[in-house]
Each structure stands twice: as structure tokens, then as C-alpha cells.
Amino acid sequence: ATPRSTARQLVREALERYGLAAEEGTWGEYVLCDVVGRPGGPGGAWQVEHLRPVGDGERPLVLQDVWKPKTGCSRRFEIRRRQEVERVCGGEDAETPGERPPP
């Protein structure tokens, strides 16, 4: 990855590297996510505090330089199925995944 790499390019390269992209159409089923959280869940599991799908044309390494997570949190980029991310983030407050804002 370089600062010029787009999220779409990184997803495509990762899927190819790990043999998960059988055909070109498969790449669109996945999205790169910017995930902020901290370890400390059951068994030391990662606790997600914020999840945001990165736009296909966004440059993740530039994002990483421009915005830092709050103290005590870490950022990682994850490749997730687009359908799952849309279900989790659809209509929800992006700051608190899993909870709906009051009407």
C-alpha cells in the first residue's frame, strides 16, 4: 500500500493475494472499513467503537495521517462483506454501531 492506493485497489489486491477473488465481480462484494476500537472484550477480543466503510476512491493511508483515534483507542482497517456493513451501518448512528439514535 502507498499513499496513492485507493480502498478499492487494496481490497482487490488482498482478495487476489489470499485467493478469495475467483472472478472480477467478487471484488464489489467487499468493502474496506475504518474501524476504531480497543482490546478488552471477552478473552481480550477487539471491541469496536466506530466502524465506517471507506469509499472506493478514498486513500486509506492518507486517512490514517489526517485523523487519529482518541486516546486509548486504536485504528485498524478491515475488509468486510459489503452486505454485512450496510446492514450494520444502515440507518444507525455511525458513532455507536448497534444502537439506533432516538427518534
- Per residue in 54-83, pLDDT (tens digit) is 999 999 999 888 888 888 899 999 999 999
Residues in Cβ contact with 5 at an 8 Å cutoff, skipping those fewer than 6 apart: 59, 60, 61
Question: Is residue 102, in this structure, part of any structural domain at all?
Answer: no
pLDDT at 97 exceeding the cut of 60 = no
Range of the domain at 81: 7-90
Give the per-residue pLDDT at 103.
33
Question: Is residue 50, in this structure, part of any structural domain at all?
Answer: yes
Q: Which residue did the predictor score with more confidence, 29 or 95?
A: 29
pLDDT at 101 exceeding the cut of 50 = no
pTM score, whole prediction:
0.77
CATH number (domain holding residue 50):
3.10.20.90
From residue 69, how far is each of 63, 83, 84, 87, 100 by CA, in Å? 11, 26, 24, 24, 22
